[in-house]
Amino acid sequence: MTKSIEIVSDVKCYKNKKMALWDLQNRDLFTSTKNRHITHDWLMRKTEEDNFNFGYFITLTFYKQTKNPVVSYLDNKHLKKVILDFFYPHGKPKNRIRLWFFVEQHESGKIHHHFLMEKVDGLNWLNGRNRKITLNKKTLFNIISNNYCLDEVIIEALTIHLKKWVRKLGQGKKASKCVYLTEGKHKGVSEMEYKVHYCQKSLEKKGLPTIEEYDFNTWEHIDFEASDFDTKKTNNIKEQIDETD
């Protein structure tokens, strides 16, 4: 008599669960949990409702990473001030760029920072009364030889500025990384949507370490206070998910 085949998922949180054949057709089972899917959809809806125009996804890693989400929120508050002071040193206009901040906890318990930043009008920025900027010699050479991208100049100058005014940020190349959210596709969706989805991955992680009194869970990966959400329009996302049950 032939033994029946046991179907087991490769997804960590489903490894101990026996699966039926119909489960193989359910891609949501493999790609996203309920909370991740709903949170992703909610954030994408916010980008449309409030006309966000994100152009950059930047990751920052401090040389002394914290394990406390509250400390990471305070760091984000300082990061936001430094960023806005860089672009608007002589007062913040009403139509300033907006940012969303996320914090990601690794299996070690340590946290690093992601943020989405709206596109910057490079020409208006350069023509304005901006502070002095610092660039690497290689970038200056590329500008002179007419082989440069204005976005790259903006991000390099911003990164150097952050490393100067955010003491926790290391000076090495691994301290910061920027992805330009082009109009192209990544894994079938836009670069921006893919990064929004990426930032929700902590909602899928089961059994993240409890770090003494710091228990990183639920929606703590979104820094609502530092991010530019319209609080008048924003409802409690937990209530929205509970209503679907």
Token match 């319209």: residue? 230
Q: In this predicted model, what pLDDT tens digit does every residue of 105-142 receive, in sequence order?
A: 877 778 889 999 999 988 888 887 767 788 888 888 88
Angle of CA points 16, 103, 57, to nearest 5°: 110
Q: At what angle do helices 34-49 and 191-198 cross, to 10 degrees?
A: 140
CA distance 204 to 216: 13
Residues of the chain below pLDDT 70: 1-33, 130, 205-218, 231-245
Sequence spans of domains, the chain: 1-31, 32-244
Measure Cα distances from 62 to 113, 152, 203, 241 in Å.
8, 22, 23, 33
Beta bridge partners of 7: 19
- How many Cβ atoms are within 10 Å of 105's Cβ, its own excluded? 23
Supply the pTM of this predicted model. 0.75
Q: In this predicted model, what pLDDT tens digit does every residue of 96-107 receive, in sequence order?
A: 999 999 998 877
Q: What is the pLDDT of residue 231?
A: 59
